[in-house]
Amino acid sequence: MPKPDEPNGRDPNDRPDKKRLGRRDFVKMVGGTGVAVSAAGALIGEALLPRKAAAEAAPAVAAPGKVMGPAAVPITLHINGEDKNLTVEPRVTLLDALRDRLDITGAKRVCDRGTCGACTVIIDKKAVYSCTVLAIDAAASGAQIETIESLAPEGQLHPLSQAFVDNDGQQCGFCTPGFVMAAKAYLDEHPHPTYDEAKAALGGNLCRCGTYMGVRRAVVQAGGGTVPGQGGA
C-alpha cells in the first residue's frame, strides 16, 4: 500500500505546492491509475510484462476515508479566478480536463508524462506540469489554477507574450504557452533575471523548432533587463 505521503495516498487537503510530484512519483501514480498510459502502449506492455507488475500497482486514487470513482465525479476547479464545475473520472489529468472538458486549450499535450513542459500552468504560484496532476486532486486541494488564457483579455497582449513576439521566441508555437507560463512563474518570483539566470527558468521546457535563443531574450526583456545583441548567448 502507498504510504500516506506518497501522491496516490495523499491527503486531499495537501496542496500541490507542498509536495510537488517528482517524475518517479508520477510513474508510480500512473501505474496505479492508468493515466497517461496509451491504449496501445498498454497493449504492448501486457504482452511483455508479467501480470504481477500490474497486480502490485497501487489501487485507484484513494484518499483516506474517501474513495472517488471509478465513475465520473463532479468537481469544481478554480481556474483563472472563476469556479468551473465539471464531471470527470478520477483518472483524468488536469491537462485533459482543461483541454477536453473546458475548451481551455492553451496548455498543450505533448509528452503527457512530465518531461516537456508544454502543459505548464501555474498552480498556487508554482509552475506545474498539468499532465502530472489529477483534476480531482486539483479540485480537492482548492488549487488556484492560472492558465495562459488569464494573462490578458482577448485582443490584448501581456508584456511577457509581447516579449516572445519581439524576440521571436516561437516558431510553430506549440511549446510556447508552456514556456510563457514557466517564464511567468519564474518572473513572479525573480522579476529581473540576467541573461544567464533566464536559462534557469526554462530548463524544464522543450522546444523542437529550436527557439531557445528568442525565448531567453524574451524572458530578459520581460524582466526589464538588457537583451544582448545578435549572437550573444
Partner 1 sequence: MADYHWPPAEKRSLIGKRISRIDGPWKSSGRAKYTFDINRPGLLYGKMLMSPHAHAKIVSIDTSAAEKMPGVKGVQLMLQPDDEVLWVGQEILALAAETEEQSRDAVRAVKITYDPLPFFSREAAPDKAGAANTKVTSEVTAGDPDTAFKQADVVHEGTYGVPVITHCCLESHGQAMEWDGDQLRYWASTQGVSTLSGDLSTALGKQGITVPPGNIEVITPVMGGGFGSKFPIDTWGIACAQLAKKTGRAVKMLLERDHELMVAGARPSMHAKVRVAATKDGTLTAWESETWGTGGTGAGGAPPLPYVIIPANRRTSYTNVLTNMGPIRAWRAPNHPQMCVLTLCALDDLSDKLGMDPVDFLKKNLNLTTNGRAQDYAAELDIASQLMDWKTKYHPRGDKSAGHIKRGVGVSLHTWGGGGGPSNCQCVINPDGSVTVSLGTQDLGVGTRTVVTIVAAETLGLPLEGVTANIGDSKYPASGPSGGSTTVGGVSSATRRAATNALNELLAKVAPSLNATPDQLEAVGGKIQVIADPSRNIDWKAACAKLAGTPITATGSRQARNDDLISSGVGGVQMAEVSVDIETGIVKVEKMVAVQDVGLVMDLKTAESQVYGALIMGVTYALYEEKLMDAQTGICLNPNMEFYKLAGINDVGELVVHMMTGPGYDERGPIGIGEPPTVSPGAVLSNAVANAIGVRVPELPLTPANVLAALNASAPSKA
- Determine which residue in the list 84, 212, 225, 227 makes contact with partner 1, applying CB under 8 A: 212
SS3 122: strand
How, if at all, do strands 126-129 and 120-123 pair? antiparallel
Grid coordinates given for 57: 500497482
DSSP state of 183: H
Q: Which is nearer to partner 1, 144 or 171 (CB)?
A: 171
Q: Is position 49 an interface residue for partner 1 (rule: CB under 8 A)?
A: no
Nearest-approach distance from CB 233 to partner 1, in angstroms: 3
User: Residue holding cell 492553451?
Assistant: 106
CA separation, residue 3 to residues 11, 58, 69, 115 (Å): 11, 10, 20, 25
Cα 93 to its chain centre, rounded Å, is 9
Q: Is position 196 an interface residue for partner 1 (rule: CB under 8 A)?
A: no
Q: Is position 43 an interface residue for partner 1 (rule: CB under 8 A)?
A: yes
Nearest-approach distance from CB 46 to partner 1, in angstroms: 8
Nearest-approach distance from CB 15 to partner 1, in angstroms: 25
SS3 77: strand
- Determine which residue in the list 50, 65, 81, 231 makes contact with partner 1, applying CB under 8 A: 231
Q: Which is nearer to partner 1, 14 or 111 (CB)?
A: 111
Binding window for partner 1 (CB under 8 A); candidates: 1-9, 51-59, 133-141, 195-203: 195-203
- Determine which residue in the list 126, 166, 190, 195 makes contact with partner 1, applying CB under 8 A: 166
- Other CB atoms within a 10 A radius of the CB of residue 120 amount to 30
The angle formed by the CA atoms of residues 28, 31 and 35, to the nearest 5 degrees, is 105
Task: Specify burial of residue 52 (Cβ count, 10 A radius: 0-12, 13-18, 19+).
Answer: exposed
Nearest-approach distance from CB 226 to partner 1, in angstroms: 17
Q: Which is nearer to partner 1, 18 or 23 (CB)?
A: 23
Q: Is position 58 an interface residue for partner 1 (rule: CB under 8 A)?
A: no
Nearest-approach distance from CB 176 to partner 1, in angstroms: 5
Cα 72 to its chain centre, rounded Å, is 22
Residues of span 70-129 touching partner 1 by CB under 8 A: 89, 91-92, 96, 99-100, 103, 105-113, 115-116, 118
